Amino acid sequence: MKIRVIAVIYILVILIAGFFLYQKIDQKEIFEVDMLALNTNAYDIGKKLDAGESVEKLEDEYDCYIVLTSEDQYESENSLYIKKGYSVFDYTSNGEILGKIAFPAREKEFEARRDNEKKVMIQILIIAMAAGLTLLFFVWYFFVRPFRDLKVFAEHVSKGNLDLPLKMRKHNYFGAFTESFDRMREELKKSSEREIEADRSKKELVAELSHDIKTPVATIQATCEVMEMKYKDKDPDINEKVAIIKSKATSVEHLIDNMFRATLEELEELKVEPREESSLILGDMLSELQFYGTVEQKNEVPQCLISVDKLRLEQVINNIAGNSFKYAGTPLKVEFISDEKMVHMLFMDRGPGVPEEEISMLTTKFYRGSVASGKDGSGLGLYLASNFMERMGGGFEIRNRDGGGLVVEIVIKKV
């Protein structure tokens, strides 16, 4: 309502200014003929005619035309003077009209009058155009522009861009309307974020379960291998059943690898949330590696507080041990080295190692080295292990061991 009042006041100001401009036009040029002077002259001429002065003399003296009623051409001449725009006055005596006194029209004065009238019309048109343009500007600024902004805003929303806010301009006539649209954008954005987070949580759960199931499956496979060795050539029935169990465990492992790989490609990365933990959890994790094969612990775990995500660290250690027993096939030796800020955990085997040119590629997603040829795997284990350790503030390094074998070192941050 305030905007419309302002617009009306603005236009009224323009019109009032135009009126004063019109009043300032030179009225002297328009009405230059001094009617009082002409009346006086006509009166003097009448007196002199009554006194008996000749018409010709008075016409020369006052620059006028005198036609008496007694003349035959009175009516026609009188009409002619009027048509020409002359100023015509009555010549009377004792209340009786005796003739007409005509003062010639002044062409320059009439031209000036016409010119000034044209000026007045042009100025009035300019004022009207200015008022109209001003009104159009108000309509565009306060009514059309907000809808144009809404159009651009709607295009961004339709494309899924929910981060661009709708501008809230001061004195916007549609302020409440605009604010409602921006609130709608915010709610859509929150809803989209909740949906993305829910989808991400679901994929994280699938990825975590896929990776964690691999440990018991590996245990089942290791147990089957032990039973095959134990009952070889003793009980064919048991050997057949163990072979079936081992085959199914291998199938489950393949399915888990496929599911984990597909989920990780969409998820990009899993959450890592480091917390303060006791370093003694490292010993517990090593004891669980006995399911994979022989683990030799060279020294005691240094007692301190470490900053780790327990679940992710367990995945890292299981992956390193699983790879070692799968590809090296030798006992795994573990050594701890502690310094001021870090705990270094070294895993060493006595296998053939890895070609030097491949070491830097082992932590690349989906990369599998030449030693992995013919063996199952997804190429994600070492990639995830390296990623997890870096995000826990530590480190991850792979190198060949002097004298043969591979060393995998994980660096764990102290609190």
Judged against a pLDDT cut of 70, whether residue 168 lies above it is answered with no
Q: Would you state the pLDDT for residue 27?
A: 47
Instruction: List 307's β-bridge partners, or say none.
Output: 276
Q: What is the pLDDT of residues 20-57, one digit of tens each?
A: 655 554 444 444 446 778 888 899 998 998 888 998 99
d(CA 390, CA 35): 106
Per-residue DSSP letter, 414: B
Q: What is the pLDDT of residues 256-290, one digit of tens each?
A: 766 666 565 555 556 788 999 999 999 888 887 77
Q: Would you state the pLDDT for residue 169?
A: 58
Cα dist from 391 to 53, 89, 344, 345, 388, whole Å: 127, 112, 16, 17, 5
For 87, other C-beta atoms within 10 Å of its C-beta total 19
Q: Would you state the pLDDT for residue 129?
A: 81
Which stretch of 197-211, 242-256, 311-325 has the lowest confidence by average pLDDT? 197-211
Three-class secondary structure of residue 88 per DSSP: strand
Q: What is the pLDDT of residues 89-132, one digit of tens each?
A: 998 888 888 899 998 866 556 666 677 778 878 887 788 788 77
Look up the pTM and report it: 0.45
Strand ordering across the sheet containing 87-93: 65-68, 96-103, 87-93
Q: Would you state the pLDDT for residue 122?
A: 83
For 135, other C-beta atoms within 10 Å of its C-beta total 15
